[in-house]
Structure 1
Amino acid sequence: MGERETWTTEEFGSSHEGAVGVLLADGTVPASVFFDTGSGAGGQSVSQWSVYDGGLAHGPRAAALRAVCSCGWNGPEHKLDWNEIGERKLTEAAAVTADACMEDWDTHTAEVEQSAIPLPETVTALLAQLHEEIEKLAKTSPLAAVRAARRLEVTAGQVGYWPAHDARQDTTAEQAAAALGLNETAARKLMAHFGRWSPYR
């Protein structure tokens, strides 16, 4: 896959990396477009949706855009009307359509969050309050806010150690990934981080 703009959330990261995907008129996904820099040092492979305008130096003409996610999820197709687009640049003419794809992906990540193991309301409220208090502290004493953030890191490491070990014994990698809203690789690395073991064993 070539270079393109992607989206992630803080919690789910690359497990749910979203982007605007392209479909051709026959329903297939086009290959990346290679741009030769002409410098003899190679070129750049790009799959950004806006290059698929059918232009001579660009990729084939996109028939529809849809949100895609690294987890394999695909959003609904949004057809492109080339009679309406005319000679305008695709990046401008289909900007609203691309935004709709991002909104579809936002809905997808909200569903992932809903499907993850729920947290008690008291924990959610305390985390939100702590976030707010540190932000307030940052306005009057940035260094104190940094120290508070560091203390939060230390606390997370302490309280996450034994739960990570217990979860490792009691759940499969697939179950842990589903509960955390991550792919299995990311879930394994997260558990290893808190449990302080190598993710490769």
Structure 2
Amino acid sequence: MWNDERDGRREHEGVARALNASGAPDRRIWNGHAWREEDSWQYTGLVTFDLRSGAPAALRAECQCTWHGPSHPVSDSPAKAAVAVKADWEKHLAAKTEAMYPVDVADDLDDLFGRLYSLAQQQPLATLAALRELEGRTEPLRVVAVARARYRKEPWQKLADALGVTRQSAWEKYQFAGNPEDVEAAYAKTVPHLDLDGQQSATTWR
């Protein structure tokens, strides 16, 4: 079983699933050394006792998020097939977690919005002012992030997926983010950064 524990996350766990000759799962996984029976793995994450002898027909990578990869014939080397299916899972993981922000950021966001919710009960006008300030900083920072992603040659489809919009919408709204002057103007509205000389720098988005 493979775990993704980056930033303390456990949303994605993978296994090398055994398949029979018809391509159906046969309730075994390859644990790196031997075949094991899985016990409701997708619900409990538990793997129990050895089951049956002999190798199944194929292996495929499966993730706890319900994704599964292509099948790889086992032949006489389960370990060789397991290397291929783990590589499939790692590619899946890389794609799924590329736009996943760190756990500490998620915790900070939860704390911020929890505080704003409490403030709204006592000081609704102050909350509205705080939200206005938040919105004023969010869009410029979004522009900076798009510009940074485009500088790294990220395709528009990946940006659209991260933004939660269509590719066309992302391009129409942020195509100007390739213009350094526009991006630096947006950068100036976000949290200031300092260069090595202690001066505010608007070019660190690159």
Q: Do they superpose with TM above 0.5? A: no
Bigger radius of gyration among the two: 2
Higher strand share: 2
Greater length-normalized contact order (CA 8 Å, ≥ 6 residues apart): 1
